[in-house]
Structure 1
């Protein structure tokens, strides 16, 4: 059974950074991701989706291949490629892979303009190691399908980062090191 987690970030770049971290963890077999979608609320109020898999392009490529194959059989490969690409792209655009797009758009409607939400469909994960990797990015949990205990752990981990004060910048007026101890 898969779990859905939606975390809100202040911008699309931060959400993309976390998605890339999760994909890196997937290569290390610490998490198995079914889908990862970033939803961004634009200034006009519409929601733009940044899918992990572009089904339209994938459909066009697959359709081109099959169209070429069928076109060769009927001695007209160029028309076969064109028709195959068009039908594949249409089929890809109409298909929905992973997380339901209308569900993502419905939940993302409550975001402030400019904010982004990362929706991740998780098949399984090593929770402690994954949380360790993403908790410094912060974020606010929008929705999860986790049980209450796991959801609280996730919320607390993300909130602890937001509460930590930033490191104090070094004082540039005061010299440091050996030069600081010299008194001429």
Structure 2
């Protein structure tokens, strides 16, 4: 079973730093990610999703390859590649894996303009080590599917980073 964690950061750059760090932790076998998407909200209220994998582009590439291959078999490689690319792009645009795009847009609509929400779908993780690695980035937990104890630990770790960043009076 996967867990969803959504953390809000003050800007897209900070959210991207955390996402990059999570990918590094994945290489260290501390976390196994199913998806990691950053949602931003512009000043005019538009929500934009920044996905790691562009399914439309990857569908077009694989479709053009297979179309070219089929086209070679039927002596019309250019037509085959064009039809394959169009079909692959359509299929890629229609396929959605990981976190539901509509869900992310609805939830990101509640953040302040300029902020960024990092949506992470976690297959497995060594929670204490991962939280220790990302706590210094701060952020505010918007939503999780973690159990109460893990969610509270995450909230406290992120809050301690925010309070330690505050200037001393």
1:177: which partner in 2? none
Aligned twin of 2:66: 66
Classify the secondary structure of the residue corresponding to 2:114.
coil
- TM-score of the pair, normalised by structure 2: 0.97
| Structure 2: segments with no counterpart, 5+ residues | none
Indicate the RMSD between aligned Cα atoms, in angstroms.
1.1
For 1:113-143, what per-residue CA distance to the aligned partner results, in whole angstroms no more than 9, with x for missing partners? Answer: 1100000000000111111110000000000
* Matching of residue 112 in structure 1 with residue 137 in structure 2: no
- Runs of 4+ residues deviating >2 angstroms: 165-168
Map of 2:47 onto structure 1: 47
Deviations 1:41-71 (A, max 9, x none): 0111010000011101110111011101110
Alignment match, 1:94: 94
- Equivalent pairs counted in the alignment come to 168
Give the SS at the match of 2:86.
helix
TM-score, normalised to structure 1, is 0.89
Out of 1-10 and 158-167, give the one that drifted further: 158-167
Computing the radius of gyration from Cα coordinates, the structure with the larger value is 1
Structure 1: gaps of 5 or more residues = 169-184
- Whole-Å Cα distance in 1 between the matches of residues 17 and 124 of structure 2? 21
SS of the equivalent of 2:142 reads strand
**CA deviation profile, 1:12-41 (whole Å, cap 9, x unmatched):** 000000000000000111100000010000
SS, match of residue 43 in structure 1:
coil
Shift of 1:95: 1.1
Give 1:125-164 correspondences, 5 Å limit: 125-164=125-164
Instruction: Measure the CA separation in 2 of the matches of 1:96 and 1:125.
Output: 23
1:156/1:70 Cα in 2 relative to 1: closer, same or farther (>3 Å)?
same
1:36 aligns with 2:36: yes
